[in-house]
Structure 1
Amino acid sequence: MSTFRDLLIWQKSMTLVTQIYQSTNHFPKEEIFGLTSQIRRSAISIPSNIAEGFGRESKQDFLRFLNISIGSLFELQTQLEIAKNISFLNENEFNNIFENSREIERMLVSFIKKLKERN
């Protein structure tokens, strides 16, 4: 792999960001600086930290940024639950986005584990 763009977790995270933007477009306008902004920032942080960590010189730095990505992912999952609870997302939309986020979560956990095992 020669660039972060080759990482499937980065690609799937970018797709998730697009999905988040499309879904939050119909949130109430008064939420643009509230939940909408929080959800979007959390989503953007996931592929951004993967990319930044990839560009670092050490495996330890890369692992640190991958862990930051997981933190952002958990933050996003929490915010999605809030959006569902207050009816900004319907059940189907929530389930689709949430399952995509869980797939990225599993991939990140697995990738981190593999990186730690390498010498």
Structure 2
Amino acid sequence: MTTYFTKDHEWIRIDGDVATVGITDYAQSQLGDVVYVELPEIGKALAKGDEAAVVESVKAASEVFAPVSGTVEAVNVALTDEPGKINESPEAEGWFVKLKLTASDELAELLDEEAYKAFVETL
């Protein structure tokens, strides 16, 4: 599995033609305690940059954007009852959606882990 990152602080883990999407540890630390998550409908087509989910914390509401185009195959329904999973395990149990890739060439526009870490250091 390969993991990529965006400058909007989403991570995307590729397994075959399915991409699991979440927010980075940096993003969850900036948000603070997550209290609510709004997830998309299964089957919804998302273009790169579309709003894939909404996260509300004690500090702010924030959108999670689709890092690549795809169709929503699964959502992490556990987050509905336990939004704190995003703070506890942002890059594992705190994933938001799984997308069936429709434009895998878009992956080339994303950052690898090293480039993302270098980007965060500039913030």
- Is TM-score (shorter-chain normalized) higher than 0.5? no
- Shorter-chain TM-score category? under 0.3
Q: Which of the pair is proportionally richer in helix? A: 1
Q: Which of the pair is proportionally richer in strand? A: 2
Calculate the TM-score normalised by the size of structure 1: 0.25
